[in-house]
Amino acid sequence: MQKCIFLDRDGVLNEDRPDYVYKIEDYIIPDGVVDGLNLLKNAGYLLIVITNQAGIAKGLYTQEDVLNCHHFLQSQCGGVIDDIYFCKHHPKYSSESLLRKPDSLMLEKAIAKYNIDITNSYMIGDAERDVKAGKKAGVRTIHINTGKESTDLADFRFGSLLEASRFITGHLA
């Protein structure tokens, strides 16, 4: 079985924006993200992005735009991310979906596909819905405090992905 880090995208891997991030020129990777991803990868974790992308259902951008941003991130971090799962649904614009966080179907699909050991895996996100999805899937949870949203549900809290990565890997600064 493999250990895994599930990563929310907006607010964790890139700076979040109120009007959606779907263009490469708007995809800003915060300091420390690349180092954090590499720490986790070098410690033997699978890295899987789990992201709601309601802008697709709203007609604001396409699946291709999401994948273009993902390929840009991969180019910046040396291709260390193993997979991306995204939910293109929104209940007010397309349909209800168990893929959409706070539900956990995206995580569950990855757990089955990659034979993931949930007892040695984490979900890292900046919103309560990320933490709830991780809890439903049975993994430990980390909340990244970006100032956008707080939650008391997470197992651990940090100010950045790099801080969380150092904690997980034991490379405390």
**Residue 119 one-letter amino acid:** T
How far is it, in rounded angstroms, from Cα 37 to Cα 35? 6
26 is known as an active-site residue = no
SS3 72: helix
Catalytic residue among 8, 65, 126, 130: 8
- For 83, residues 6+ apart whose C-beta sits below 8 A from its C-beta are 46, 48, 49, 110, 113, 114
8 is known as an active-site residue = yes
How far is it, in rounded angstroms, from Cα 89 to Cα 31? 30
Closest CA to 124 of 6, 4, 3, 2: 6
- 31-66 as b/e: b if 16+ CB within 10 A: ebbbebbebbbeeebbbbbbbbbbbbbeeebeeebb
Tokens of 50: 């789990």
Catalytic center residues: 8, 10
